[in-house]
């Protein structure tokens, strides 16, 4: 009986750990970005996406890059999720990751997809990576300052539960609204034609600098590091705008590739 209780305790601990890891991946945010992007694809680009992904949608594949983290065959992608631009430096002057960073990876995936000629598996994986990374780049803490692993080392309390600043921005502000990704998409997907044109005409580097410019707002936390209603209220509009911009820009990038 003692052994059985021990085994059940280990199983429960493992399940809890897995659930917490899943929470930190920001699935609703990524799926929202993918779902919005689908609505701004040209007819030709939409057909190409269906050819490449089959029955899977952009929303569905948006979390693939996080799901393969446990596969050693994709370890070279670990540093693709972020870029580090220390205070007072630019992307050009900052030290680069040996395996590439998020800006490098988005540009690489885009160039390879435009060129074509790859296997069906490789093309699908490139597109899945692109969908995920455009979303990541619009989360401000994926453009790190080089001091705290993109806010992961900033321990905070989120509604009186232990957390960290990166997790708050990846998922907890969003999850607190208790919306599905389709509901959230519907609530925020109202850009003007002028905004669409402006957002899609900017560069990947512009997107990174936009995120970097938001860091003072992100790090504006109380000394006791207890975050709840006020912090959520002050930052919710920013979160929604970043998700919307990511979706619109992702669509523009895919249209550029396949048109």
Q: Report the residue count for the chain.
A: 259
In a domain, 17, yes or no: no
Count of domains observed in the chain: 1
pLDDT mean across residues, the chain: 91
CA atoms of 39 and 161, how far apart (whole Å): 37
CA distance 108 to 30: 20
**Does some domain include residue 3?**
no
CA distance 193 to 207: 19
Query: Does some domain include residue 93?
Result: yes
Q: What is the pLDDT of residues 86-133, one digit of tens each?
A: 999 999 999 999 999 999 999 999 999 999 999 999 999 999 999 999
Tracing tokens 């490449």 back to the chain, one arrives at 52
Q: Is residue 67 part of a domain?
A: yes
CB 130 within 8 A of CB 104: no
Output Rg (C-alpha) for the chain, integer angstroms: 19
- Residues 55-88 have pLDDT tens digits of 999 999 999 999 998 898 999 999 999 999 999 9
- Whether 215 and 154 have beta carbons less than 8 Å apart is answered as no
For residue 214, being part of any structural domain is answered with: yes
Nearest one of 35, 140, 32 to 82, comparing CA atoms:
140
Does residue 15 fall inside a structural domain? no
224 lies in a domain? yes
pLDDT of residue 26: 81
Planar angle of CA 187, 215, 81, nearest 5 degrees: 75
Greater confidence (15 vs 111) lies with 111
> Residue 205 and residue 110: Cα distance in Å, rounded?
14
Domain extent for 192: 23-258
**Tens of pLDDT, residues 164-205:** 999 999 999 999 999 999 999 999 999 999 999 999 999 999
Asked if 133 contacts 127 with a C-beta cutoff of 8 angstroms, the reply is: no
Instruction: Evaluate if pTM is beyond 0.75.
Output: yes
With respect to residue 146, please indicate whether it lies within any of the assigned structural domains.
yes
CATH of the domain at 59: 1.10.575.10
pLDDT in tens, 197-210: 999 999 999 999 99
């Amino acid at each position: 009986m003692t052994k059985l209780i021990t085994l059940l305790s280990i199983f429960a601990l493992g399940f809890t750990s897995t659930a917490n890891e899943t929470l930190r991946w920001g699935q609703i945010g990524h799926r929202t970005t993918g779902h919005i992007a689908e609505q701004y694809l040209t007819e030709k680009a939409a057909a190409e996406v269906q050819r490449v992904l089959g029955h899977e949608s952009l929303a569905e594949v948006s979390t693939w890059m996080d799901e393969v983290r446990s596969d050693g065959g994709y370890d070279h992608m670990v540093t693709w999720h972020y870029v580090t631009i220390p205070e007072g430096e630019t992307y050009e002057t900052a030290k680069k990751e040996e395996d590439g960073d998020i800006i490098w990876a988005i540009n690489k995936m885009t160039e390879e997809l435009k060129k074509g000629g790859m296997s069906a598996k490789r093309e699908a994986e490139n597109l899945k990576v692109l969908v995920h990374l455009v979303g990541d780049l619009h989360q401000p803490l994926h453009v790190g300052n080089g001091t705290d692993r993109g806010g992961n080392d900033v321990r905070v309390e989120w509604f009186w539960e232990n957390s960290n600043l990166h997790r708050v921005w990846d998922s907890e502000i969003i999850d607190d609204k208790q919306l599905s990704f389709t509901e959230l998409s519907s609530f925020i997907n109202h850009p003007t034609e002028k905004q669409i044109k402006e957002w899609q005409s900017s560069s990947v580097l512009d997107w990174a600098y936009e995120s970097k410019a938001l860091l003072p707002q992100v790090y504006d936390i109380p000394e006791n590091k207890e975050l709840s209603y006020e912090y959520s209220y002050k930052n919710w509009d920013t979160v929604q705008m970043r998700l919307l911009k990511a979706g619109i820009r992702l669509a523009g990038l895919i249209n550029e590739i396949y048109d």
